[in-house]
Structure 1
Amino acid sequence: MSTLRERLKEARAKAGKTQAEVAEAVGVSQPAYQALESGRNQKSAFLPAIAQFLNVDSYWLSTGNSSNSFTSNEVIKPTIVSTEIQDEFIWIDVVQANFSCGNGESIEFHFDTINGKLPFPPSFFKDKRVHPEHMRIIKAKGDSMSDFIKDGDYVGIDLAQTEIIDGEIYAVYFAREGMIKQIFKEADGSLILHSLNSKYPDKTVTEENGNNFKVMGRQFWRAG
């Protein structure tokens, strides 16, 4: 199995990037990145961001193993993996959420495709007060929530937090599509689905169209 330093060098060479470009893109100092490529440091919380910038699989970059086997028709529980960098991470699925809609209030979401995994230290979940089995990661599409959430950003969703807190951001299904929106409660009981980008108008969920609305979970983490 290749080492982390070898995989970093290989990925950076294929991407045609310099060490300085990688460091600047992910927000670390150039010496800190050099320490990873030299082998002086063998772990970093920035590996997922580095993998995204170099357009390689985060799981492969961290462990040397492929994540192609993670595609499944079932929801897979996250697993704790001991890696060659001598640290324990909890690997969370990066999923593609799909929705099936029946009559009335029958709206279900499921994860047909798992597009890899991202590593998090156990302390992350303690700090965020989120159970690992309730976390899924989806990729944001479009610019309706920029500059807070940009197109292609990883977004962590807590599936256990579906009760709406005024002003929080949620992954929801509405008007036949999945979306990420800030939600505000109105005095009349309606909900405003707000886009942070002002060029996108608000959407209103009312008693009349509420059967076409479902909360997947609250957004509590992002990375891009």
Structure 2
Amino acid sequence: MSLRERLKESRRNAKKTQAEVAEAVGITQPAYQALESGKNQKSAYLPMIANVLGVDPYWLTTGNSPESFDSSEITDPIAVTDELKDQFVWVDVVEASFSCGNGESIEFHFDAINGKIPFPPTFLKDRNVTEQTMKIIKAKGDSMADFIKDGDLVGINLSQTDVIDGEIYAVYLAGEGMIKQVFKEADGSLVLHSLNEKYRDKVVTEENGKNFKVMGRQIWRAG
């Protein structure tokens, strides 16, 4: 199959529209449509598109079977091959955990790196992040549905911990890591808002603020 045929078949199998795929990887719909129509034959975003569609990035890019590579070269969830690895910045997919010290200090660390996802260098440059300051975590639960669903991959910028009103952040509160929309109140408190109406807002005040920490701002999602 040609690239356009692989894209069309994969997208239909994933039950996604062209607009949904384009939004997930951060390109315009016409740019994606140019790939699926055959007008464009190459794009640095193909590995990201493959991840959104749930297909092997090497197969989508080249049409060749990934089985031709040694298994030691496969990194879950993306195959880092010699042909592709130098074209992209590979961002860690991590498991996050938190540790509390004396009740005032909260430290965030990664328990495990579960793989890598490739991004074009321009993607990171446009968002002012590097492979050190951007990490990818997996969303749990449906509190942010339909924008972020259970199991979605969420990219966060660890260097952006100052709260911008209304933006989405990965945060820690009272022993729990979560992804929430954060609003600033006039009295200095913060409201952690869930997009799913069945979940109540959580309020961060001076009293419980010692058990609160912002991990980073959400800058990307796929699922």
Asked if Structure 1 and Structure 2 have the same fold, meaning a TM-score greater than 0.5 normalized by the shorter chain, the answer is yes
- Hey, what's the Cα distance between the residues in 2 that align with 1:43 and 1:117? 19
Q: Which residue of 1 aligns with 2:13?
A: 22
- Over residues 15-66 of structure 1, what are the superposed CA-to-partner deviations in whole Å (9 max), with x where a residue is unaligned? xxx656336447468995798xxxx95766243453465477x699888522
Please, which runs of 5 or more residues in structure 1 have no aligned partner? 10-17, 69-80
- Over residues 62-104 of structure 1, what are the superposed CA-to-partner deviations in whole Å (9 max), with x where a residue is unaligned? 8852226xxxxxxxxxxxx884158610000000101111212
Q: Which residue of 2 aligns with 1:84?
A: 83
- Hey, what's the Cα distance between the residues in 2 that align with 1:183 and 1:95? 23
Q: Which residue of 1 aligns with 2:25?
A: none
Structure 2 CA distance for partners of 1:30 and 1:221, relative to 1, 3 Å: closer
Aligned-residue CA RMSD in angstroms? 3.5
Q: Which residue of 2 aligns with 1:103?
A: 102
TM-score (norm 1): 0.72
Structure 2 CA distance for partners of 1:209 and 1:161, relative to 1, 3 Å: same
Q: Which residue of 2 aligns with 1:169?
A: 168
- Hey, what's the Cα distance between the residues in 1 that align with 2:110 and 2:203? 27
Structure 2 CA distance for partners of 1:25 and 1:99, relative to 1, 3 Å: same
Q: Is the 8 A contact 2:93 2:137 kept in 1?
A: yes
Structure 2 CA distance for partners of 1:204 and 1:32, relative to 1, 3 Å: same
Please, which runs of 5 or more residues in structure 2 have no aligned partner? 22-31
Letter in 2 for 1:218: R
- Over residues 156-178 of structure 1, what are the superposed CA-to-partner deviations in whole Å (9 max), with x where a residue is unaligned? 10000111111111100002110
Structure 2 CA distance for partners of 1:167 and 1:136, relative to 1, 3 Å: same
- Over residues 174-212 of structure 1, what are the superposed CA-to-partner deviations in whole Å (9 max), with x where a residue is unaligned? 021100011111111111000111110000001111111
Letter in 1 for 2:13: V
Q: Which residue of 2 aligns with 1:66?
A: 74
Matches within 5 A, 1:1-16: none
